[in-house]
Chains A and B, each alone.
Chain A
Amino acid sequence: MRRTGMVLLLLGMLIAWGGSPEAVAKGIMIDGSTTVGPISKSFAALFMKKYKVPVTVSESGSGNGAKSLINGSCDIADMSRSMKPQELAAAKAKGINPVAHVAALDGIAMVVHPSNPVRSLTKTQIADIYTGRVTNWRQVGGPNFPVVVIQRESNSGTQETFRELVLDKRKVVRSAETQASNGAVKNRVSQTRGAIGFLGLGYVDSSVKPIAVNKVMPSVATVKNNTYPLSRPLFMYTNGTPKGMVAKFIDLPKTPDGKRIIRELGFVPKY
């Protein structure tokens, strides 16, 4: 009895190993940016309802999204920045041809704790804060309170875009705290009085206070007309020109439903 059990177990193992991995209708796999995550997740729900095609969404960061696309392990890579030359080179070496599609527009909102009376900072002031030249809110016209600088991890597309747009590739001060996602930054800023952080526009809510950059508040209007200095497109990358269901998914931002979802989530439709 017991021996047959063991044999069955081993057989099961063999079947699991040898089983053909094709079978079943393949769904769409999406990996990448946490900022684009809410859009992808809502699109996925819409898509599954409409076309009955399974869609899975992982939020592991823009960098990992790019890697997944290059390794051929996802159909769509969400990215909150464009692909870097070295990523494009790696893709080329593997015979992958990344094509960018703009899913929506976004502004990187600078947020502080709601108790902070500072309403506006210039880009230079923000750069000074993040490079460590400003360590107290008093130096930028605020109260006498130490600044807690919060950034994202190196895998984050938001972090890369922020560095490019604000810091001019200078290094972030060492004492900066690193959080792993938009949600974590929001959480930390909403609980820390002297904190400053940055978020995708769709993540801003009443628990944090967005501030104006160069006297322009981040909003749908200012991102759309490109007056907000920290605006950026959000991308969905595919391997080559998408076909079939993937193409349908990529085109969602152009459909009325897609545009409404993007708007309701707090992002800015491009089309």
Chain B
Amino acid sequence: MNLGTRKLLDRSFTALGFGSIVIMGLALLVVLAPIASKGIGAIVFKGTIEHRKLLLNEFHRGDAAKIGKEEASANEYRQKVFDMLSEFDQELDGMDYEQQSKYRGNYDQVKTALRGLFGPLPGDTEPALTRFRYGQTRWDKAEEKLHDLLYEQKWDYSNPDVIAKPYDVSRAAEFEGTSLVKLFSYVEENLDKMMLPEWTVYWGFITDKSIDAHFFGGIWPEIQGTIFLAIGAMVFAFPLGVIAAVYFTEYAKDGFLTSMLRSANSTLAGVPSIVFGLFGLAFFINTLHVSHSKSVLAGSLTLAIMILPTIIRAAEEAILAVPKTYKEASLGLGSTKWNTIVTVILPAALPGILTGGVISLGRAAGETAPIIFTAAVSVGAAIGLGDVLNSPTPALSWNIYNLASEHEAAAEIRHVQYGMVLSLVTIVLLLNLSAIILRARISKKLKG
């Protein structure tokens, strides 16, 4: 091959490699940037007076006197809306039946939209569910609800042969000629005075428990559950994995049994995670009865089995990478085999072993399928260290799925979902980072 072609090939190869790295980085950015920006929106957002009221009533946080004052000023403006409602109520009473029924349905929709904004209206009975006891706690949501109040979405069904198109109808127009018509422009103009939006940094999102199935409050029980499960998995899997790796590298003789064990290990690494979940349910809970039902313990054990192959593999590679001369020198000085392994080989291999552990820890924190049947619940209190043996726990990975698909009001609580995703990503990154730092310090100590 002549020099020119070779250079060209070289360069194009470099360009290809570089290009793929750039594409990967961009893809990561495309995924992570919205997660980060929307996830932060769960903590930093424009909170309304309703949010401050909620924090005061449910978590006893905030300055009661100041909030009371704000509430009074917001109520001053809201009172006009309520007055307009009662004025229209009277007007409605004066109408004949036909006119009444013409307005009744639309009027109920208006009231529902107002309840969405301000919480219960005067004269309503106190709602049982927390979600109906407060108005919109977030300004962005309040603006959405305002649109629902001002416009009704209708579908054009005039031609039954085609799929209909949506169009907005101004509600004000529906009430043309009645006293209610002025309500719409009034609410639109004075919404900020009635909701008092204010930039809020709500750290409670991380440290509070959730209220009313994640409608309000935070995600602490989920974060705690995730950490318990991940650490628990490591407690079981890491020592077992290292011991197995030592056996494979130092003690096992090459033979049929060893090669069987090795291939079993590789196969285990490729088993789909839901299989581990079902296995955990059948083996740990129904056969061994490690706990009465789902529990952190059962979940940790299942996750441990799942990450074991990765840990064994990584530890094996790390041990094999330790130079033979270390071992020979130690044995030559009269040390026993066990002593050599514990004092020479394992410390030298530790950075590599930790790398495997780190990767597995991240995986254990993020896995959903293995904990569905063994540990995760969609609602539960935060548990203490003493409860891990027999209490199930909510966990981020499962609750993200649950909130995004199964929750009856998934569309209303998108910010909680994004907040949870960001928390999970952050936890995994932090776990990885701390282990990388630990590894760096250990290898520095070994060299020095």
Residues of A within 8 A of B (CB): 2-3, 6, 9-10, 12-13, 16, 19, 21, 23-24, 26-27, 29, 31, 34, 37-38, 40-42, 44-46, 48, 54-60, 64, 68, 71-74, 113-117, 138, 141-145, 180-184, 187, 193, 202-203, 205-207, 257, 260-261, 264-265
Contacts and interface: CB of A to CB of B under 8 A. Distances in A.
A143 B160 contact: yes
Contact of B239 (A13, A58, A145, A180): A13
Contacts, number: 157
Nearest to A138: B161
A207 B378 CA distance: 24
Given A2-B347, A57-B378, A57-B380, A115 B165 contact: yes
Contacts of A265: 129, 408
Interface stretch (B39-47, B362-370, B399-407): B399-407
A6 B239 contact: yes
Contacts of B292: 21, 26, 72-73
Contacts of A13: 235-236, 239
B294 interface: yes
Interface stretch (B60-68, B179-187, B384-392): B384-392
Given A13-B236, A115-B163, A117-B160, A21 B378 contact: no
B157 interface: yes
Contacts of A142: 160
B160 A59 contact: no
Given A71-B286, A187-B410, A114 B129 contact: no
B177 interface: no
A9 B291 CA distance: 22
Contacts of A193: 163
A58 B294 contact: yes
A42 B215 CA distance: 11
Contacts of B294: 29, 58, 73
B128 interface: yes
Contacts of B410: 183, 187
A45 B166 contact: no
B161 A184 contact: no
B164 interface: yes
Contacts of A6: 239
A31, A145, A183, A260: most-surrounded residue (chain B CB, <10 A): A183
A34 B401 CA distance: 13
B199 interface: no
Contact of A68 (B132, B165, B293, B405): B293
Interface string B293-304: 110010000000
A41 B245 CA distance: 45
Nearest to A25: B387
A60 B163 contact: no
Contacts of A64: 373
Nearest to B285: A73
Given A145-B163, A183-B408, A59 B402 contact: yes
Contact of A117 (B164, B239, B378, B387): B164
Nearest to B161: A143
B286 to A, nearest CB: 6
A181 B406 contact: yes
A12 B231 CA distance: 12
Interface in B177-228: 211-213
B155 interface: yes
Given A48-B381, A143-B161, A264-B132, A59 B406 contact: yes
B169 interface: no
Contact of B389 (A21, A203, A206): A21
B345 to A, nearest CB: 12
Contact of A60 (B127, B236, B372): B372
B406 A182 contact: yes
B321 interface: no
B408 A202 contact: yes
B378 A16 contact: no
B128 A45 contact: no
Nearest to A194: B163
B379 interface: yes
17 contacts: A16-B236, A16-B297, A21-B290, A24-B386, A71-B285, A114-B155, A114-B166, A115-B155, A116-B164, A117-B160, A143-B161, A143-B163, A183-B405, A183-B408, A184-B405, A206-B153, A261-B129
Contacts of B212: 42, 45
A41, A73, A181, A203: most-surrounded residue (chain B CB, <10 A): A73
A3 B387 contact: no
B381 A54 contact: yes
B376 interface: yes
Given A73-B292, A114-B166, A260 B128 contact: yes
B411 interface: yes
Contacts of A41: 213, 378-379
